[in-house]
Structure 1
Amino acid sequence: MKIALLGYGKMGKEIEKIALERGHEIVLKKTEENDFNGLENADVAIDFSIPTAATENISTCFNYNIPVVSGTTGWLEQYDEMVVLCNEKNGAFLYGSNFSVGVNLFFELNAYLAKLMANIKEYNVSMEEIHHTQKLDAPSGTAISLADGIIAATDYTNWTLENPSENQIHIDAKRIEDVPGTHSVFYKSAVDEIEIKHTAFSRQGFALGAVVAAEWIKGKKGIFSMKDVLNLG
């Protein structure tokens, strides 16, 4: 399979390594210094760029009729626009806030726990996420996905990085050198606390998941997520 890498930072390089190990070919390494030359040769594109470049990368793939897998976070205000454009172009689009298999299982655990806790009002929920100091957005896309999973099942209506008001989930976003990603969800009462936690040891799990998603989406049309790739629906 021929892959275009849209974004060639640390994640892009890790994706390249795993893609080559799995027998794929890299036909474009898109950075701020070059253009989309070579994209037309790709079977699929993987976007791990920066928030300001994501929509251009994704929409260009639709215009070239190339399926795109995106793991860039911090741009989701334009997500619905990209969905509309994908459908207009009869394209294929898979966005994931996190491509790790473990994290996607953690999403399911988080949603199930939220349903269990929905009517138990003695507990207040909060979250913590820790990432490396180079991460541009806060909170992480993974943390937002976790918060959305809780909101969908409970009376909580929003999340905040500040002091929470009623029905807001507080997210404590920390940036510490060389931390790939740690996410915790806490349910605390006056007498005890329930915690679920996912800790990533390296970027390898994220990169492998992105390549697996690219292999899965080739030849498909529509809007997808990692739930489709992992058959978690």
Structure 2
Amino acid sequence: MKILLIGYGKMGKTIEQMAQAKGHTIVGKIDHHNTDDLQNYNGSNTDAAIEFTHPEAAFGNISYCLNNGIPVVSGSTGWLEKFEDAKQLCEQNKGAFFYASNYSVGVNLFFHFNEYIASKMQEYKEYEVAIREIHHLQKVDKPSGTGITAAEGILASYKNLNGWVADIPEEKGKLNIASEREPDVVGTHIVTYSSEVDQIELGHIAHSRAGFAEGAVMAAEWIVGRQGVYGMKDMLNL
């Protein structure tokens, strides 16, 4: 399988190692210093692209792939105000677009359990729900895309909450996502239900980037030959 890497930071390098270990060929590596080289790739010389870049670059990269017949797997966060545009572009081009805020199988099981627990806990009004996410110092976006996805899973059941806020715990009627940045933390997400008498927590702690990279390569393998917009729930049948 011929894979184009768009974004060649820590995650891109880990994906490269994972893909090559599985017998795939990396046909190109696009980063901030050679963005013009992206025009050299299309559906005839690339089976799929895996895109992990910055919020300001993600939509342009995804658009290029969809306009040029390349199935694209994206893990970039912080650009989701344009997600509906990407979906429409995918439909117009009869393309294939796979998006997840986190490609770890474990994290997506965490999302699944998070939604189930929220559907039960919303009945118990004495418990206040909050989210805490911790990442390495180089992470650009706050809160993390994974934290936002977890919040959306909770809000689907908590009709009394009007959206989420970042680092404003005192704002009533909102789900607070607390963001922390520390050295050498791959990614930690904790959902807490607190009452005066006890506390319930659901958490996921990533030990390395290997789980994220493996999931992204799995998604690239899975999306080839498909048409439409997909996510981890589709691939994992959750």
Letter in 2 for 1:153: S
Unaligned runs of 5+ in 1: none
1:165 aligns with 2:171: yes
DSSP-derived class of the 1:104 partner: helix
1:206 aligns with 2:212: yes
Contact 1:27 1:38 survives alignment (8 Å): no
Contact 1:28 1:38 survives alignment (8 Å): no
Contact 1:15 1:208 survives alignment (8 Å): yes
1:80-118 C-alpha deviation (Å, 9 max, x unpaired): 111111101111111100000000000000000000011
Q: Which range is displaced more, 154-163 or 172-181?
A: 154-163
Question: 2 CA distance for matches of 1:157 and 1:218?
Answer: 38
Question: In the alignment, what sits opposite 1:189?
Answer: 195
Question: 2 CA distance for matches of 1:39 and 1:46?
Answer: 13
DSSP-derived class of the 2:201 partner: strand
Which of residues 94, 97, 102 in structure 2 aligns to 1:93? 97
1:164-221 C-alpha deviation (Å, 9 max, x unpaired): 4222111110000110000000000010000011000000000000000000000100
Question: In the alignment, what sits opposite 2:4?
Answer: 4
Q: Which range is displaced more, 90-99 or 156-165?
A: 156-165
TM-score, with length taken from structure 2: 0.96
Taking only aligned residues, the RMSD between alpha carbons, in angstroms, comes to 0.9
- After superposition, residues 1-233 of structure 1 pair within 5 angstroms as 1-34=1-34, 35=36, 36-40=38-42, 41-154=45-158, 155-161=160-166, 162-232=168-238
Letter in 2 for 1:167: G
Unaligned runs of 5+ in 2: none
Aligned length: 232
DSSP-derived class of the 2:70 partner: coil
DSSP-derived class of the 1:153 partner: coil
Question: 1 CA distance for matches of 2:46 and 2:6?
Answer: 11
Question: 1 CA distance for matches of 2:76 and 2:46?
Answer: 19
Shift of 1:62: 0.7
Shift of 1:163: 3.1
Question: 2 CA distance for matches of 1:37 and 1:85?
Answer: 18
Identity, % of aligned positions? 53
Letter in 2 for 1:186: T
Letter in 2 for 1:4: L
